[in-house]
């Protein structure tokens, strides 16, 4: 049983304002992109070390240099641009919708440099992450390269598969695929499975995260996806997924039990109750626990307290003093 994180970590705190200042300085022309990149690296190091100090078993790089979930890919692939601002699902945050101008091209190295940087910092197990192909395809603002959602999704899957290959070649052993669109559009589960068959060809363990929405309508189908891990958001919407975990068979189940979009702090006892219910259905070695999604939606101090509660609850369940 392990603890992990998903998605983006808060980029600033009361004590760490360097990135905010650097972005303002960039706007004023006081630093260049190289100077900003240096601040991104330092902020990434701070985020990784903080997650490790809290006790998270499997960390990521905090997506510190990502403007949004789609940005590294929309900016890094040829025949794709970052377009209009749009609200990101039902959150009070915005992202730039991709605009596809032709056949997408990419070399699979959009994430390699930041992954290697994070790998040089992390002392705990480090995982990588990509945007889900269905999420990218459904959030695209304009598409002049493909004639349908199906064609666009499968083309995006080919490009993301290359990114997964690139990460694997540089040491990644687990890659999160953040896929809120799948839970938002359960009717597209068949198309999503075809896309994941392409991602799986890279031969690295994948973890699918259909967060923000209840996964109840697609739970049985998720058991058939070619992924090693299935992440379930147990807090954002009413769900009975906790009662049906056995359908996921041999998958590692990552339960999002800390609400990453609500400032109320869960108590370790409250979390331990959920953990104990899960242990009754899934073998101990196939259970991980996490926030529901990225902690970027919370003030930094709240995010730290929530992660600390998560780690304390997991340790208590394992019989380890907090």
Is residue 193 in a domain? yes
Instruction: Quote the tokens at residue 159.
Output: 């490009």
CA distances from 264 to 54, 56, 290, 299, 301 (A): 19, 20, 16, 11, 12
Count of the separate structural domains present in the chain: 1
What integer pLDDT is reported at residue 22 of this predicted model? 84
Q: What is the CATH number of the domain that holds 95?
A: 3.20.20.210
Domain assignment present for residue 42? The answer is yes
Instruction: Check the CA dihedral 206-212-218-220 and report its sign.
Output: positive
pLDDT at residue 319, rounded to an integer: 57
Residue tagged 């959602």 (tokens): 149
Q: Which residues of the chain have pLDDT under 70?
A: 319-322
Q: Which domain holds residue 217?
A: 2-317
User: Could you give the dihedral angle defined by the CA atoms of residues 23, 211, 125 and 45, in that order, rounded to the nearest 10 degrees?
Assistant: 10
Q: pLDDT at position 239, please?
A: 96
Give yes or no for a contact between 198 and 130, defined as CB atoms under 8 angstroms apart.
no
**Phi, psi for residue 63 in degrees, rounded to 5:** 50, 35
**pLDDT score of 269:** 85
Nearest to 182, CA basis, from 200, 155, 152, 209: 209
Q: E strands of the chain, at which residues?
A: 2-3, 58-59, 78-87, 94-105, 125-126, 128-131, 142-143, 174-178, 205-209, 229-233, 252-258, 287-291
pLDDT in tens, 282-313: 988 999 999 999 999 999 999 999 999 999 99
The string of pLDDT tens digits covering residues 113-128 is 999 999 999 999 999 9
Predicted confidence at residue 322, as pLDDT, reads 45
Mean pLDDT computed over every residue of the chain: 94
Q: Is residue 96 part of a domain?
A: yes
Tell me, yes or no, whether 322 lies in a domain.
no
**Looking at the domain assignment, is residue 9 inside a domain?**
yes
């Amino acid at each position: 049983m392990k603890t992990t994180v998903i998605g983006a970590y808060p980029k600033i705190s009361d004590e760490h304002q360097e990135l905010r200042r650097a972005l303002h300085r960039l706007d004023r022309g006081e630093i260049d992109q190289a100077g900003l990149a240096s601040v991104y690296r330092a902020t990434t190091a701070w985020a990784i070390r903080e997650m490790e100090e809290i006790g998270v078993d499997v960390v990521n790089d905090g997506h510190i240099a990502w403007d949004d979930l789609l940005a590294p890919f929309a900016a890094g692939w040829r025949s794709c641009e970052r377009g209009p601002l749009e609200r990101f699902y039902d959150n009070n945050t915005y992202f730039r919708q991709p605009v596809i101008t032709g056949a997408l091209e990419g070399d699979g190295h959009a994430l390699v440099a930041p992954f290697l940087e994070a790998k040089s910092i992390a002392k705990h197990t480090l995982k990588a992450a990509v945007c889900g192909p269905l999420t990218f395809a459904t959030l695209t603002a304009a598409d002049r390269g493909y004639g349908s959602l199906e064609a666009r999704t499968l083309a995006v899957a080919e490009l993301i598969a290359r990114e997964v290959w690139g990460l694997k070649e540089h040491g990644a052993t687990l890659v999160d695929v953040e896929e809120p669109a799948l839970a938002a559009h359960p009717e597209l589960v068949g198309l999503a499975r075809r896309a994941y068959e392409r991602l799986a060809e890279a031969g690295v363990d994948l973890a699918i995260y259909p967060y923000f929405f209840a996964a109840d309508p697609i739970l049985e189908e998720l058991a058939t996806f070619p992924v090693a891990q299935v992440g379930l958001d147990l807090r954002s919407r009413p769900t009975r997924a906790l009662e049906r975990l056995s359908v996921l068979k041999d998958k590692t189940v990552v339960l999002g039990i800390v609400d990453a979009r609500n400032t109320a702090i869960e108590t370790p006892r409250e979390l331990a109750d959920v953990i104990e219910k899960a242990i009754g259905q899934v073998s101990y070695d196939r259970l991980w626990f996490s926030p529901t999604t990225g902690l970027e939606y919370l003030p930094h101090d709240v995010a730290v307290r929530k992660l600390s509660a998560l780690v304390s609850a997991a340790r208590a369940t394992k019989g380890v003093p907090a």
